[in-house]
Amino acid sequence: MAFRFVHTADIHLDSPLKSLALLNSELSELIGLATRRSFVQTIDLCLEERVDALIIAGDLYDGEQTSMKTARFLAEQLGRLDQAGIRTYIIRGNHDALSKITAQLVMPDSVRVFGEAAEVVMVDRSASDFDVAIHGMSFAKPHAPESLLRHFALPTPDAVNIGIMHTSLNGSPGHDPYAPCSVAELKQTGFQYWALGHIHKRSIFDDKSSAIVMPGIPQGRDINEDGSKTVTLVTVSDDRTVVVEERTTAVARFERLQIDVSAATDWENVVAISKQKLSKHASDVSAQQIVTRVEVIGSSELAWRVRRDIDVLRTELETHGSLLGNLWVEKVKVSSARPQRIAGNIGALDELANIIDQEIHGSVDFNIEMKAIADELRSQLPTELRDILGNDQKTFESLMARFASEGTTHVLARLQNVGGE
């Protein structure tokens, strides 16, 4: 009889919103509840597929959470599995190590939370044709700079061995190094399956006899976690072959859409093209709710008008998205520009742009003033949002240069006399 389980990680239940772009209260509510609704769908999947177990490879919570409402919600959902005879195996990740909920929560008897020392749990399967050994180890502290792999036991003989680890593998952009190890090292253990967590982007390394899976975050929380988000349904057959299936769990999917307005002849045409692209986008993306960041691109004489009236275009697209029924416009940004001018044919605004670029940007006084404004803004932000202006000097300076360039373009757009208006 096959052994089947669902593998997920990085759930970040009730994660606080970090995007300043989610100013729409209805959209904020949707995203604020999305991690819970996604977890409910994961539990539903376990029940519908009648799996033997749910494996959670770390980061159930999001840092120093103290709300017992989150704890009660989790206990209720895992209780649904307990009533169906489905066991749950959990390791604590770096965020869980910070959470006070971890120590206070009382789990159903069918839930096994692995401790700080590596453990091996034999699954009770009296009717099975093979034994299943689950190996796991939780983070004791928020940081694990060294590999945890050496702490794991050797494979249990004649059993299907499943390892659970929270790791950054060899590193990934946007993720700090945690319990680093390589895919090759994991393969050398001889385990049939490695259930990993930590990196929010899905990756899989498998063949018929074994699989190493980083399932990714099951529900995106902002535009930096865009695209399809899933959990993994795993079947270990009687002949011990491993079949891995991807199942969608996100209730809200973040996406990016570029709209090229190069062919637009007037403002009404810009709006019509944008709505048409948004409609096609909604039909192409399969999701309960779509949260889209729109970028207007292309070389056009109307680029100044688009920049000047971007708030008007956003309202048009937000209204159109609501009519489509399941699409939210999270933000509209402009990257379009006027066509290059022929040498010698320079207008007053072009000359002003050259002066700003050559004499103001990069000047000591300008940079001092801009840094002072940025520091004042950052000091007024909540602690968890202060990295929005960069968490190191190089990133901060790069952002300031970009903001200065974009700000100049917007100011010039406001000065542009479009169509005699």
In whole angstroms, give the CA distance from residue 296 to residue 171: 33
Give the pLDDT score at 342. 46
In whole angstroms, give the CA distance from residue 339 to residue 41: 49
Give the residue among 365, 390, 360, 394 at the shortest CA–CA distance from 375: 390
DSSP collapsed to 3 states, 4-61: EEEEECCCCCCCCCCCCCCCCHHHHHHHHHHHHHHHHHHHHHHHHHCCCEEEEECCCC
Looking up tokens 């945690």, which residue turns up? 178
Phi, psi dihedrals of residue 89, rounded to the nearest 5°: -120, 125
Are 292 and 328 spatial neighbours (Cβ–Cβ below 8 Å)? Answer: yes
**Residues 409, 415, 417, 421, Cα dihedral to 10°:** 120
In whole angstroms, give the CA distance from residue 112 to residue 213: 21
- Cα-atom radius of gyration of the chain, to the nearest Å? 26
Which domains does the chain possess?
3-248 (3.60.21.10), 251-340 (no CATH), 346-421 (no CATH)
In whole angstroms, give the CA distance from residue 348 to residue 33: 51
Give the pLDDT score at 203. 95
Buried (b) or exposed (e) across 76-97, using 16+ Cβ within 10 A?
ebbeebbeeebbbbbbbbbbbb
Give the pLDDT score at 188. 93
CA distances from 413 to 21, 305, 334, 393 (A): 22, 7, 11, 30
CA distances from 410 to 311, 333, 335, 406 (A): 12, 11, 11, 6
Where helices occur in 105-200 by DSSP H, the ranges are 183-188
Strands 252-260 and 242-248: unpaired
Give the pLDDT score at 371. 80
* Residues 76-104: tens digit of each pLDDT: 999 999 999 999 999 988 655 445 555 56
For the chain, give the number of residues. 421
DSSP string, 245-313: EEEE--SEEEEEEEEE-TT--SHHHHHHHHHHHHHHHHHHS--SEEEEEEEEE-B-TTHHHHHHTHHHH
* Residues 124-135: tens digit of each pLDDT: 876 567 999 999
In whole angstroms, give the CA distance from residue 317 to residue 335: 17
Instruction: Tell how many helices (H) and how many strands (E) occur in the chain.
Output: 11, 15
Q: Greater confidence, 379 or 21? A: 379
* Residues 383-421: tens digit of each pLDDT: 666 677 777 777 877 877 778 777 776 676 667 654 444
- Angle (CA) 401-405-410 rounded to 5° is 145
Are 267 and 305 spatial neighbours (Cβ–Cβ below 8 Å)? Answer: yes
Indicate the pLDDT class of residue 317, thresholds 50, 70 and 90: very high
| Largest pairwise CA distance in the chain | 86
Looking up tokens 């700080």, which residue turns up? 116
Give the pLDDT score at 131. 93
Give the pLDDT score at 174. 53
- The mean pLDDT of the chain is 85
CA distances from 399 to 156, 358, 381, 396 (A): 52, 19, 17, 5
Indicate the pLDDT class of residue 54, thresholds 50, 70 and 90: very high
Tell me the CA end-to-end span of the chain in Å, nearest whole number.
75
